[in-house]
Amino acid sequence: MSNKPIPHAKSAAEWIEKEDHYTFHDERLWDMRQKRDEQMHLLPEWQDLREQASRLKEHTLAHLPHYLEQFEENARRNGIHVHWARDGAEHNRIVESLLKKHNKTSIIKSKSMITDECEMREYLEPRGYSVTETDLGERIQQLDGQMPSHVVVPAVQKLTGDVAQLFAKYYDTDPASDDPHELAEAQRIAARPALLTGDTGMTGGNFLVAETGTFVVCTNEGNADLSANLPDLHIATLGIERLIPRMADLGVFIRLLSRSALGSPITQYTTHFRKPKKGGEMHVILVDNGRSDRLAMDDFWSSLKCIRCGACMNTCPVYRRSGGQSYGAVYSGPIGAIIDPTFNAKKFSTLPFASTMNGSCTNVCPVKINIHDQLYKWRQVLAERHEIPFVKRALMKMAGRLLAQPALYRLSISGAEVALKTVPRFALYNYFNQWGKHRELPHPVKETFHSWYKKNRLNKEKGAEKEETEA
Amino acid sequence: MKIGLFIPCYIDAFYPKTGIATLELLEKLGQNAEYPMDQTCCGQPMANSGCSPDAKMTEELFVRNFAKYDVIVAPSGSCVHHVRDHFDAMEQTADVRHVRQNTYELVEFLHDVLKVRDFPWAEFPHRVGLHNSCATLRSLRTASMSELGEPFFSKPKTLLSAVKGISFATPKRPDECCGFGGTYSVTEEAVSAKMGLDKVTDHHEAGAEYIVSADTSCMMHQQGCAERNGVPIRFIHIAEILNGAKA
């Protein structure tokens, strides 16, 4: 994996130039945020639900080993095989060994962020296995060789015209016909044979229930149910933080998940998997991949509460205006910006800076992750580790020294012609060049407040005192 | 009550009118306000860039300048948020704690501490769009936040409603960040400027002649975006309207 910092600002600038994409993307996601608000207003207990969800997740994370073992024991009792993967590589080897053991070669797969995180397709495909994404958005991204743009709507950065051109390459459809129904139908026609011939089904999962040893998958297209149930072998991959203690806790999360994500009361399908079908096998792979390390980070552990609803992305004015691809990561948007640096602090060092720190993400988060506070803290951590550009570091050091010395500071901005002409050179060159690309500079003024105050208050007071003494 | 007036660097250099209006307004309200001459900045630009250690000396200077006052008032929500919530790099002495606990943004000082509701000298016969900075909205909480679905309240609007002749335009996305974000405005200038343009366009389309805010930094950015793109809208700090500016 390349370690070069992701050029978020540059990619975002290019994205903005595509006016039709930009407008659609911003408005589509803003609409999801609006629908989320409507659902929130329908539930007077919304803030209580968020508080409960947050506490449940915090409790579970504080007792993670206990609940993981409880899940494992109960799942085994149900007849599910449970595997533990320390990282993505181990996960992929487990999947491969299961395929080998059962002589399987073709996977039909529903959307799961964690298999993308493990780079499973990249591992399996060169080894002769076929992996077919069955979620429409995820399939579009697979055909285009791109990572998901969004955790819930993976291809949201594409217009129907883009999809029409992409499908034409693979599905023998008309590249000029961008009717969404026709496109969905083309995908359906292409997916059905794959679903019927695929010999292994893979899914992700939204929740692991410790008490029952079951797991729950929430989808809208029904493709996860087909993927899981048609073949005899079902492999489900879930991160260890998907746990909740009891079935009774599930309702809190189900009520929040789709309302936060899409603004719909519930997903079309909420499927509980308990045991393999007759004659089949069911495997659950529990993946760590850095999660235990994150749990040990004082400032960042609570990001593990995330239920992957994408509400923070929908509300984020920067994400909406830069597109998911600009984050160069499996997880984009505000949640990505605080999770990704735990995987690779150098590569993702730019992401915590891809924010105005407006705080809207924290307010919509259904499990109350303090996302914008963590962005601020990541900036401190990254600067301390020298993972911010040298020029910026030098600039901040200079600014820090200048602003700590009033006399020097005054010298640097004073003089007859204030403001723009006499702003310190470093500020002028490093800042206003960028400032001025798409904006006008502030207008020059005759005098600073400082000098006005001196003339109109301090000197007047002195003058008045003088008059008094003379009188 | 002795007030220390904090005039942030960009107001000092680019918008002295706002600083003057703040001082005159406090004086009209019978307050004893003083501007310590050795002040520079609150340290936010460095800290927001991740460089808290570089902000430390500036923050210490701030405390030395202002610890002697009963309260510190600034016409900038963003700077007050930094002083109150992020003055963490230095040792938390009694002076530091005093400054953190007693620094107020102008609107909250007028609304919550002085509890002023009348500005008989103020008249502003214009349609204005109110811009709440993210710092005033989500940190200082001077207005309700749309994400939480809380009952509507707005301290700046309550104050402005006492001004003769004023009327309000309602943009489609009143809570949306304008994209300034301090150093963000230059590190991601394209997204920042686009957000600014979207923001001023939203206000303009809602019929606002002026954008009024308690944060000059947001408006400096928005003004730059509006002027570059020919969006006909003007900008004024809330202190100026409350102090009786006519336009």
ipTM of the complex in this document: 0.97
Asked if A240 and A287 touch (Cβ cutoff 8 Å), the reply is yes
A421 pLDDT above the threshold of 70: no
Q: Same domain, yes or no, for B200 and B238?
A: yes
Inter-chain CB proximity A449 and B16 less than 8 Å: yes
According to the model, what pLDDT value does residue A416 have?
A: 37
Residue A380, CA distances (Å) to A334, B46, B50, B89 in order: 17, 10, 4, 11
Q: Compute the count of residue pairs across chains A and B with CB atoms less than 8 Å apart.
A: 218
Q: Same domain, yes or no, for B73 and B159?
A: no
Q: What is the DSSP letter of B154?
A: B
Give A-chain residues touching B47 at CB under 8 angstroms.
380
B121 is a domain residue: no
Q: Same domain, yes or no, for B133 and B231?
A: yes
Inter-chain CB proximity B225 and A448 less than 8 Å: no
Inter-chain CB proximity B146 and A441 less than 8 Å: no
Which of these three, B81, B113, B145, is where a domain ends? B113
User: Which residues 163-182 of B have a C-beta within 8 angstroms of A?
Assistant: 173, 175-177, 179-181
Token pair listed for A68: 């993981």
Render pLDDT for A285-314 as a digit per residue (tens, 0 to 9).
999 999 999 999 999 999 999 999 999 999
Q: Same domain, yes or no, for B200 and B137?
A: yes
Q: What average pLDDT does the segment B104-126 reach?
A: 98
| 3-state SS assignment for residue A107 | strand
Maximum CA extent, chain A: 110
Chain B interface mutation, best of A403, A413, A459, highest count of B Cβ atoms under 10 Å: A403
Whether residue B89 lies within 8 A of chain A, CB to CB, comes out as no
Whether residue B32 lies within 8 A of chain A, CB to CB, comes out as no
Of A104-118, A377-391, A405-419, minimum mean pLDDT range: A405-419
Say how far apart CA A190 and CA A108 lie, in whole Å.
Answer: 12
Q: Same domain, yes or no, for B51 and B148?
A: no
B89 is a domain residue: yes
Render pLDDT for B48-96 as a digit per residue (tens, 0 to 9).
999 999 999 999 999 999 999 999 999 999 999 999 999 999 999 999 9
Inter-chain CB proximity B49 and A357 less than 8 Å: no
Say how far apart CA B33 and CA B4 lie, in whole Å.
Answer: 6
Q: What average pLDDT does the segment A247-272 reach?
A: 97
Q: Minimal Cα–Cα distance from B1 to chain A, Å?
A: 19
Say how far apart CA A153 and CA A113 lie, in whole Å.
Answer: 11
A60 pLDDT above the threshold of 80: yes
Say how far apart CA A192 and CA B152 lie, in whole Å.
Answer: 51
Q: Same domain, yes or no, for B133 and B105?
A: no
Say how far apart CA A21 and CA A15 lie, in whole Å.
Answer: 8
Contacts of B67 (CB under 8 A, 6+ apart): B95, B98, B99
Q: Same domain, yes or no, for B47 and B139?
A: no
Asked if A24 and A208 touch (Cβ cutoff 8 Å), the reply is no
Say how far apart CA A249 and CA A359 lie, in whole Å.
Answer: 28
Say how far apart CA B225 and CA B233 lie, in whole Å.
Answer: 11
Question: Which among B29, B18, B43 has a CA at the least distance from the CA of B99?
Answer: B43
Say how far apart CA A374 and CA A355 lie, in whole Å.
Answer: 11
According to the model, what pLDDT value does residue A418 have?
A: 47
Say how far apart CA A78 and CA A391 lie, in whole Å.
Answer: 58
Q: Where are the domains of chain A?
A: 43-289, 391-470
According to the model, what pLDDT value does residue B70 have?
A: 98
Assign A444 a pLDDT band (cuts: 50, 70, 90): confident
Of A90-104, A410-424, B138-152, minimum mean pLDDT range: A410-424
Structural domain harbouring B67 = 2-113
CATH superfamily, with its number, for domain A43-289: NagB/RpiA/CoA transferase-like (3.40.50.10420)
Render pLDDT for B126-145 as a digit per residue (tens, 0 to 9).
999 999 999 999 999 999 99
According to the model, what pLDDT value does residue A367 have?
A: 98
B247 is a domain residue: no
Q: Same domain, yes or no, for B158 and B234?
A: yes
B183 is a domain residue: yes
C-alpha neighbours within 13 Å on the C-beta side of residue A99: 23
Closest partner CB to B148 (pick from A47, A376, A423):
A47
Domain total for chain B? 2
According to the model, what pLDDT value does residue A435 have?
A: 85
Q: Same domain, yes or no, for B91 and B136?
A: no
Q: Same domain, yes or no, for B42 and B95?
A: yes
Inter-chain CB proximity B57 and A400 less than 8 Å: yes
Q: A333-343 and A371-384 helices cross at what angle (nearest 10)?
A: 40
Looking up residue B156, the CATH number of its domain turns out to be: 3.40.50
Q: How far apart are the first and last CA of chain A?
A: 82
Q: Same domain, yes or no, for B84 and B137?
A: no
DSSP line for A160-212: HHHHHHHHHHHH---TT---HHHHHHHHHHHHHHHHHH-SEEEE--SEEETTT
B226 is a domain residue: yes
Q: Same domain, yes or no, for B146 and B99?
A: no
According to the model, what pLDDT value does residue A274 have?
A: 98
According to the model, what pLDDT value does residue A417 have?
A: 43
B118 is a domain residue: no
